[in-house]
Structure 1
Amino acid sequence: MKRLVLLLTLAMTGCAGTAKPAFPPDPPAADPKLAGMQYLYGSAEAAAISRQAWSALTFYVGEAMQGKDRRSVVLAEGATLDDPKFVPCAGKPAAAVFDVDETVLLNQGFEYDDLTGAPHRDFDDRWARWEKTGVHAVSPTPGAKEALDALRRMGVTVIFNTNRNAFNAGPTEQAIDDAGIGPAKHGTTLFLAGDDADGSGKDGRRATIAARYCVIAMGGDQLGDFSDLFAEASSVPARRAETALPAVAGLWGRGWFVMPNPVYGSALQGGAGDIFPADRQWHDPATPRKEVQ
């Protein structure tokens, strides 16, 4: 009888002589990009933050359009973050300037390919193909269409300033228009990398726009969507501190509006020692420490 019980037990746990593991094996490690994509493209929280930003921007622009003295939010040549000076409006028509990728458009198709495609592919070649062929695999960021429609009804010209390539102006115009947030016309309401000598810098294009318009609001997902001066910071803590400088701190939510993007860009840099100040680091005394950068 004991032998029969033993055989039945072995049969239920696999085969004789092989013990079944007490716990299932650890799942494969998730792609490090996944968490950011889960948040930006899938979460209700990111959608709510996006709508919150667009709602605040619409309210701010509405207030500005009702006032007599409209204020430009484009830094003038020679300005610094400690001493910002702005391009004068001088009776120019009102405009609002926006980055495109992950500001007014979610690049869902490109990021899906990035997550599921073969690793170690050349980014520049893949992005160029995306600009040309991915025009229908995008969506407006939550709240963008409603906000941009409202701005246009107020008489504000909506202008896009993006680092997409000028060689692909046609497909970029189509992507914006097909998403319902256009019109976008290269050289008029769409400015692209290659339009000037600044490369990925946007100050030159901003100056061109500000020469024609009183830019009363700007939106983007990177600090470079507001000023190239932010790129001059010497460290991660210094870059963060620049956003709190008294001369510019009041612009966030009052002319400068930031959209969430935990997936890519200049925000994603620094190791543990850069992110967490030394006087804010805590170690659980009951567990060993691991090496961090």
Structure 2
Amino acid sequence: MVAAGEKNDRREEPAAEAPADAPAPHLTLVDPAAFTPRSTSPGSAPPMTGEGWRSFVDFALEKGRALTGGEPVPSALLMPGVALGRPERVPCKNLTPGVIVDLDLGDAVFSPKDDTQSTWGLADSLARLRAAGVVVMWVSGADANSVAEIGAALRTSGLDPAGKDPLLLVRNPDERKQVMRTEANQVSCVIAIAGDRRGDFDELFDYLRNPDFALELDALLGDGWFIVPPPLSKAWTPTN
């Protein structure tokens, strides 16, 4: 596990610095006995809403097979201090493939009371990932004290019917998703990240004064990074 977050030292961008490193949050598992799951089948999945989700699942299945077959697969995380013109990625040291799905809608923290509409067909597609040995992890800027409520929302929606997916939540206001993504990559190889904004992939996007400095990083869209509608929401409008 990572003891502290990596400082975001980007050499080619004179952006404001990210917040100081904070202690890394733990991966929190929801108690599978706490809620009643809705049945879902990993068989023939209905069409999902949004091409991004289909591409995300297909990519994760392909890379997961390659990784477990012994092929070298890079993670979806940028190397700390990488030059923005060269999107180098953290290599995978763990042969267990994993994906991260961001629950937050834009800059707003996920609300298990308000965000209850799931993407059609996504539950079955995530079941296919788990059946293929891919770990599905959920990240949010929500407080870790809301783990039970968030777990319930995922279970009743069918997105995590067994309640066994790791939840990456913050334990104090200073903790950051960047730290949680880095920590997740220590316990599995994060081969793909799904989010509704570029800041869900790396926090550098939240501090760029000029977005054009990071245009070269768009090469990772569809190759580890996937812009998607939130898995649970009331409605969605693209933010990027």
- Provide the residue aligned with 2:183 in structure 1: 208
- How far apart in 2 are the matches of 1:212 and 1:51? 29
- Provide the residue aligned with 1:98 in structure 2: 101
Unaligned 5+ segments in structure 1 are: 1-47, 104-123, 269-293
Question: Is the Cα–Cα contact under 8 Å of residues 102 and 141 in structure 1 kept in the other structure?
Answer: no
Q: Rg larger in 1 or in 2?
A: 1
Q: Name whichever structure is richer in helix by fraction.
A: 1
Normalised by the size of structure 2, how large is the TM-score? 0.66
- How far apart in 1 are the matches of 2:117 and 2:76? 28
SS in 1 for 2:74: coil
- Provide the residue aligned with 2:53 in structure 1: 54
- Provide the residue aligned with 2:153 in structure 1: 175
The letter of the residue matching 1:214 is C
Normalised by the size of structure 1, how large is the TM-score? 0.55
1:60-71 pair list within 5 angstroms: 60-67=59-66, 68-71=71-74
1:1-293 pair list within 5 angstroms: 50-67=49-66, 68-102=71-105, 131=112, 134=113, 138-182=116-160, 183-184=162-163, 189-194=166-171, 197-198=174-175, 201-234=176-209, 238-239=210-211, 241-242=212-213, 244-245=215-216, 248-260=217-229, 267=239
- The aligned length equals 184
Structure 1 residues 167 and 143, CA gap change in structure 2 (3 angstroms): same
The letter of the residue matching 1:222 is R
- How far apart in 1 are the matches of 2:97 and 2:48? 26
Unaligned 5+ segments in structure 2 are: 1-46
SS in 1 for 2:145: helix
How many percent of aligned residue pairs carry the same amino acid? Answer: 24
SS in 2 for 1:244: helix
